[in-house]
Amino acid sequence: NAGVTQTPKFRILKIGQSMTLQCTQDMNHNYMYWYRQDPGMGLKLIYYSVGAGITDKGEVPNGYNVSRSTTEDFPLRLELAAPSQTSVYFCASSSGTSGRHTDTQYFGPGTRLTVL
Amino acid sequence: DAKTTQPPSMDCAEGRAANLPCNHSTISGNEYVYWYRQIHSQGPQYIIHGLKNNETNEMASLIITEDRKSSTLILPHATLRDTAVYYCIVRAFNMEYGNKLVFGAGTILRVKS
């Protein structure tokens, strides 16, 4: 299993440009999440999905959009990039089952985005 | 969600046990204690979790006090590769929105040779 993969690893955008951060998981997990991490800070949840076709906002959704057309993929769209969106973006997934192995999240390697 | 309090940083000698404390005095009965760590520039990595009993796996041990208001993550023989930020997170699983983790600042653990 590759686990959670993210592309691209690095990207520089100009203000006002748009892009899509890709996230794919091969563990057949129902739940997927997008976080951002600013320098020296903890992660903040942007959007999450509990299954294909179902998404919802997290703590910091403004300036982003998501879609979940398949179980495997959860792309994050940035429209009209702003310098405040300079951050490291992490995608994560979890099985969503309760019990002893309660919903461990598996994270991707991250995408480092700079908006100039 | 219950809030957690962790020391901002700790040092540990290589080969010794690293004991990382976490206070969660407002924890609810259905909330689990999770520990994740983040090695520089990488995505967070799950370490261990528990509800009320002590837990051990191949990476670490988790000791939860009887009143569940605090816990300690133990790395039994710390190595230089264990240098990372360690996050203690308290969370109840909910089928409606899964397990949205709330990350605080964590504890920076520096393992020194």
User: Are A106 and B100 inside 8 Å of each other by CB?
Assistant: no
Which helix (H) or strand (E) covers residue A13, if one does? strand A10-13
pLDDT of residue A84: 95
Q: A103: phi > 0 → left, psi -120 to 50 → alpha, else beta; which?
A: left
pLDDT tens by residue, B9-18: 999 999 999 9
Average pLDDT over residues A81-103: 82
Band of pLDDT at residue A91, cut at 50, 70 and 90: very high
Could you give the C-alpha distances from B110 to A27, B1, B16, B35, B78, in angstroms and in order? Answer: 33, 29, 12, 17, 10
- In contact, A24 and A5? CB cutoff 8 Å: yes
Give which of B9, B34, B38, B100 to mutate to test A binding, by max A Cβ within 10 Å.
B100
- The whole-angstrom distance between A114's CA and the closest CA on chain B is 15
User: Are B99 and A94 inside 8 Å of each other by CB?
Assistant: yes
Q: Using a CB-CB distance cutoff of 8 angstroms, which residues of chain A are in contact with residue B36? A: 105
Band of pLDDT at residue A97, cut at 50, 70 and 90: low
Of the candidate ranges A12-16, A37-41, A72-76, the one whose mean pLDDT is the lowest: A37-41
pLDDT of residue B92: 75
- The whole-angstrom distance between A82's CA and the closest CA on chain B is 22
Cβ of residue B96 closer than 8 Å to a chain A Cβ? yes
pLDDT of residue B57: 93
**pLDDT under 50 in chain B at which residues?**
none
Q: What average pLDDT is seen over chain A?
A: 91
